[in-house]
Amino acid sequence: MSKTATTIDSKDNNVSEQTGDIIYRAATAADGGVMWRFVAEAGVLEQNPSYAYILMCQHFGDTCLVAERDGEMVGFVLAYIPPRQEDTIFVWQVGVSKKVRGKGVGMRLLRHLMALPACRNVRYLEASVTPSNKPSQNLFRGFAKRSGTQCRKMPFFPSEFFPEPHESEHLYRVGPIEWPEA
């Protein structure tokens, strides 16, 4: 089993965790451009403008994480608490580099996300997933299973909402989840 070490700087809410040779740390605006390149290389993820990644990290850095190995980004999760759903963290994008996929990095990103101080009042994790994205569906279902809770799937954005050809998006809602004990 891999060893985990946690450092929490309560002054600025900055959390960094290490599992094996991978460090999980809070994202900053300076990471946005690297995420944008990462998404292009990951292949499956929808690439948004670089500005969107930089802005997400700037405004929601308390709920966005980077996974790094030897200083290189090997994964990230961009998430935020929707203003009208204070008990929910919405995962906008999660990506893991091809080099380390299938080794539990995606799962750890979600677990570390839920354990962040900013997620103290969060009980549900949501994400929007297309019908063809099986790895992502398995990630959220697996996260629910490991958290001892349910994963409900419901309609979210139908394909007609999109001006360009686009699959429908389903909402995966995981919870209720208990905040991990300190």
Ligand X SMILES: CC(C)(COP(=O)(O)OP(=O)(O)OC[C@H]1O[C@@H](n2cnc3c(N)ncnc32)[C@H](O)[C@@H]1OP(=O)(O)O)[C@@H](O)C(=O)NCCC(=O)NCCS
Considering only 44, 99, 117, 176, the residue that binds ligand X (CB under 6 A) is 44
Q: Give the binding-site size for ligand X (rule: CB under 6 A).
A: 21
20 binds ligand X (CB under 6 A): no
Considering only 29, 60, 104, 167, the residue that binds ligand X (CB under 6 A) is 104
103 binds ligand X (CB under 6 A): yes
Cis-peptide, bond into residue 158, ω within 30° of zero: no
Residue whose beta carbon is closest to ligand X: 106
42 binds ligand X (CB under 6 A): yes
18 binds ligand X (CB under 6 A): no
Closest by CA to 85, choosing from 63, 68, 56, 52, is 63
Closest by CA to 162, choosing from 126, 130, 133, is 130
**Torsion sign (Cα): 94, 98, 99, 100:** positive
By CB under 6 A, the residues from 56 to 95 that bind ligand X are 93-95
Return the HEC string of 118-139: HHCCCCEEEEEECCCCHHHHHH
136 binds ligand X (CB under 6 A): yes
Q: Are strands 124-129 and 88-96 parallel, antiparallel or unpaired?
A: parallel
Considering only 26, 65, 105, 177, the residue that binds ligand X (CB under 6 A) is 105
Positions that interact with ligand X (CB under 6 A): 42, 44-45, 93-96, 101-107, 133-136, 138-139, 142
